[in-house]
Amino acid sequence: MAARRRRRMGRRAASAIGDCLETMGDSVDELRDSLRAIGHMNRRNVRLQISNIQTWVSAALTDDDTCMEELAGKAIDAEVRAVVRGHITRVTQLTRNALALINTLFTTAAAAADSP
C-alpha cells in the first residue's frame, strides 16, 4: 500500500512539474516574441508595437504565477518544491524587471511621438 501511494504521489508530482514546465515554455515563447518585436521596431505604430510587447511580457508573468499555483496544491516533496519555486521566483523577478524597462520605453517613446 505505501509503495503504491509513493508511486501515485510520484506521478502527481511529475505531472505537476511537467505542467509547470509546459507553462514556463509558454512564458519563454512570449518573451521571445517580445524580443523579436523589439528587434523589429520601427517608427510606425510605436504605441501599438510597445503595447503588444507589454501584453506578451505581462502574459509571461501570468504564466509564472500559474506555474507557482500548479505546484502549491500538489503532493510534491518539499525540497523539490523549494528548488522549483526558487527558479520560478528568479524568472519572475527578471520578467518583472523586463516589464519595468519596457514600460519606461513606452513612456519615453510616447513622449517622443507626442513632441513636434
The dihedral region occupied by 45, where left means phi > 0, alpha psi between -120 and 50, and beta the remainder, is: left
Q: What is the pLDDT of residue 16?
A: 82
| Contact predicate 61/92, CB 8 Å | yes
Residue-wise pLDDT tens digits, 54-71 = 999 999 999 999 888 888
| Contact predicate 36/44, CB 8 Å | no
The CA distance from 98 to 64, in Å, is 14
Helices (H), strands (E): how many in the chain?
A: 3, 0
Q: Which stretch of 19-23, 80-84, 107-111 has the lowest confidence by average pLDDT?
A: 107-111
The CA distance from 85 to 76, in Å, is 12
| Contact predicate 70/16, CB 8 Å | yes
Compute the average pLDDT of residues 88-108.
Answer: 90
**Residue spans per domain, the chain:** 2-114
